[in-house]
Every structure is written in C-alpha cells, then in structure tokens.
Structure 1
C-alpha cells in the first residue's frame, strides 16, 4: 500500500549559524560595553587590555553605544532561537485531500501560522534557482490561481542536485508536474 501522508519538518531559527552569531555578538558587545565603562569610571574592567587610557567623550561613549547595540541584537537573535521562529512542517495528506503548511511566528495572538490548501487547487511543484550575490533555491507549490507558495525554509542554499531530488520526490508523491520557474 502506498503511503498516503507525507510530513516534511522545516527547521526554524534553531540553526548553528544563529547560535554562533548570538554568542559572538554577546561576547563582543560585552567587551565593547566594558571598555566604554572602563573609560568612564577610569578603572580597568577588562583584564587582558588597558582600557583606562581611552578618553570617554569620543571613544568611550561610542564603544558603550556599540556594545549596547550588539547585546540588544544578540538578545533578539537569542529570542528568535528560543521561540523557534519559522519552524514548523509541511503536511501533504492524500486521505483528507489537503496540504497544510504550519509555521511558528512571534508570540502573540497569531503565533501559529496555518495555511491549508486543497490538493485539487494545486497545479504543480515548481523550482526557482537564481545565482549571484544572494543565491536562492526554492521549491514552490504552484496553485491553479497562479499563486506560488514557498515550501523550503530560509537558510543557506542547498545544492542544486538535492533541491531537484526533493522537488522530484514531492511531485512524484503528489502526482503533479515539476516545472522550472
């Protein structure tokens, strides 16, 4: 018996690169903040360098500002990791004749994002590949009313062969055509 339900997990903000940037920004921001405070209080708060020689008015205040900004950005990235923004799944259900796209958003009234489409309204599975400074490799669900629903997560571009294989498997499962957009 052929499988009737397919569920693809979509990773959200809980990626290694986000953990790296959150921790790097936090440590760097803390260093800049301590350097700025050292120049203001005229004491050395950083043990590995002499920051008492910094003049507070131009350098110290700028370092304090950049340190505060980096720590705030680190906290924002940390919260997106904690809330797993963008995480969810795509479910293709032949029994119920439905496609469900579920994602997590920011906390609030509409945190859970649920898009539901009938399999009858799906025309094809599409692939869009664009190279350059900002390469994009995306699998779309193409509907009969010409809407294109992206199915792949926002991430570093995967290899073209893996993208084509995933799209071909999905098109085969849904018994749809595969087209290049």
Structure 2
C-alpha cells in the first residue's frame, strides 16, 4: 500500500503534488500491525498451541483427542509434559500477537503542515499514543533506504538537523521499490528538500 493514502483535507496523490503552491497540508496514514500476515501468524500459533495441548492431554488421559497420529501412545513424562509446556508457550505468544493486532500497534499518521511549519508524527503504542513534532525548516532531506540481504530494510525517512533520522514508513513488510521511490520523490517535492539514497 502506498505511503500516501489519505488526508484530512483533499490532497492529490499525483506526482505533481508540490507544484501546487496553494497545497499546504499533507497527511499520510501508516499501516500498523493489523495486517493479513500478522493475522495468519497469530492463527497458526494458536492452532499449533491447541494441537500441543490436545497431544499432552491425550498422553495424560491415554485417549486420542487429536484426529491425526496417536498421541495417547506418548509417555506422559517427559513427552506429554513437554507437549504441555509447548502449549503454554504457544498460548502466551498467541495472546501477545492477538493483543498487538487488536491494539494495532504502529499505526498512525504523518502530518506535514507547511502553513504552520510543523511535522507531526503520531504512532499508536501499547498503552498510549506516541507523538513527535519537528519544525519543517529542520528537515534537511528525504532519504530512501534500500538494503537487501539477511535483514532487509526499505524505508523513507527524514534527515533532521541535530537529530537522528526519523523513519516515516511502516514497520514489517518491506514496500516495493517503485512505491518507495515514488513516495520519497513526492514528499521531497512537497517539502522542497533534496532526495537522498537513489
């Protein structure tokens, strides 16, 4: 999904966004943890945890509670007990994953207001909203970072005077390079700052 997807006022998402001198506000939505990939992982962990629990109970009761395999033939100590411990670990992990999805951690907005000269970045945390405000004159450049390999990184960030780089894109699934380049160029035109990293 593109970085620039919605605005509180009508804002064009065309590449000529910054050429309109009357355009002073750009507000972008950032997707959080409420994504299909996270739901699939949480579902798999939940199903696996239930499977381990049923295998452990089958071993303890001496009766097959699973439709596949014969877990009742497992020896309760140590095999059945270990399966029970795996089910507890899976239940804790699934609880964490479903909580993160329900809260939608990481979602938020990037608001660029040229009339007020202010950038406001808001993200949803576990317990509260996190908000960072930066004066637009302190934004030196828009950076597009693409790093492949074992730990890939694809993001748009801002180089800010006297601070560390401020990432603007979502965490998790890497964006397609074409979307990354388009979004970085669009933002650089809007802010009238250089584009780095391409």
- Tell me the TM-score normalised to structure 2 length: 0.86
1:95 aligned onto 2:112: no
In the aligned structure 2, how far is the partner of 1:7 from the partner of 1:57?
58
1:146 CA drift (Å): 4.8
Runs of 4+ with >4 A deviation = none
SS at match of 1:132: coil
Aligned counterpart in structure 2 of residue 24 of structure 1, from 44, 48, 58: 44
Tell me the SS of whatever aligns to 1:52.
Answer: helix
Residues 108-127 of structure 1: matches in 2 within 5 Å? 111-127=128-144
Match of 1:147 among 159, 164, 173: 164
Give, in whole Å, the separation in 2 of the partners of 1:135 and 1:57. Answer: 43
For 1:8, the equivalent position in structure 2 comes to 28
Distance (whole Å) between structure 1 residues aligned to residue 133 and residue 171 of structure 2: 20
Distance of 2:177 and 2:143 partners within structure 1: 13
Distance in 2 between the 1:13 and 1:144 partners? 30
Query: In angstroms, what is the RMSD of aligned CA positions?
Result: 1.4
Is the Cα–Cα contact under 8 Å of residues 45 and 94 in structure 2 kept in the other structure? Answer: yes
Please list the CA deviations of residues 45-99 of structure 1 after superposition, one character each: whole Å capped at 9, or x if unmatched: 2234422111110211111111111121111100000111111010001121100
Where structure 1 has 5 or more consecutive residues not aligned to the other structure, the ranges are none
Structure 2: give runs of 5+ residues left out of the alignment: 1-19
Residue 103 of structure 2, aligned match among 83, 90, 103: 83
Higher relative contact order at CA 8 Å, sep ≥6: structure 1 or structure 2? 2
- 2:179 corresponds to which of 123, 139, 162: 162
Bigger Cα displacement from structure 2, 40-49 vs 5-14 = 40-49
TM-score normalized by the length of structure 1: 0.93
The alignment of Structure 1 onto Structure 2 pairs a total of residues equal to 178
Displacement after TM superposition at 1:139 (Å): 0.9
Deviations 1:100-137 (A, max 9, x none): 00000012xxx110000011111111112111111101
Query: Does the Cα contact within 8 Å between 2:155 and 2:175 map onto a contact in 1?
Result: no
